Amino acid sequence: MSEIEIVVYYDRNFPNAWIEPQYSISISSFFQQNGVAIVDASKLEDFMTASIDQRVAHRKIVMFSQDVVPSTICRETGSNTLIREYLDAGGNVVWIGDIPLFYIGTRGSTSPSQCIQA
């Protein structure tokens, strides 16, 4: 049987919207203490790309501890994005925020008002 790989997305260089930052830190810390890798926006892009290229996305789970999608995996508001390709390839996402993909954040943005609304 093939093994499932789980990662948690957390990047302090990207904002949160409805989830308070301290909760994102607590969530990612909890999972890290239990052996789950934390990935930032750049590593998340690499993780999704490799999962697709290696045809193993169906054995991968990304848990979001933040509720703003980083622009590294969602470069536009349409369906032609890396996160969509990852999901179409069988990848799994655990979204704990309010409206999935409502905000697309860029590195250094500090609030939802500086994000792109999908």
Question: pLDDT per residue over 58-113, tens digit each?
Answer: 999 999 999 999 999 998 777 789 999 999 999 999 998 888 888 888 888 877 77
Q: Cα separation of 20 and 62, whole Å?
A: 19
**According to the model, what pLDDT value does residue 19 have?**
93
- Name the residue type at position 47: F
Structural domain span for residue 110:
5-117
Identify the helix (H) or strand (E) that includes residue 85: helix 82-88
State the pLDDT confidence band at 115, using cuts at 50, 70 and 90: confident
> How far from each other are the two terminal CA atoms of the chain, in whole angstroms?
38
Alpha-helical regions (H) of 55-98: 82-88
Residue 95 has, within 13 A of its CA and on its CB side, a CA count of 16
Q: Cα separation of 49 and 82, whole Å?
A: 7
Domain count, the chain: 1
Sheet with strand 60-64: strands edge to edge: 37-39, 5-9, 60-64, 92-95
**According to the model, what pLDDT value does residue 74 have?**
92
**According to the model, what pLDDT value does residue 38 have?**
98
Q: Tell me the backbone φ, ψ of residue 82, rounded to 5 degrees.
A: -65, -40
pTM: 0.92
**According to the model, what pLDDT value does residue 2 have?**
66
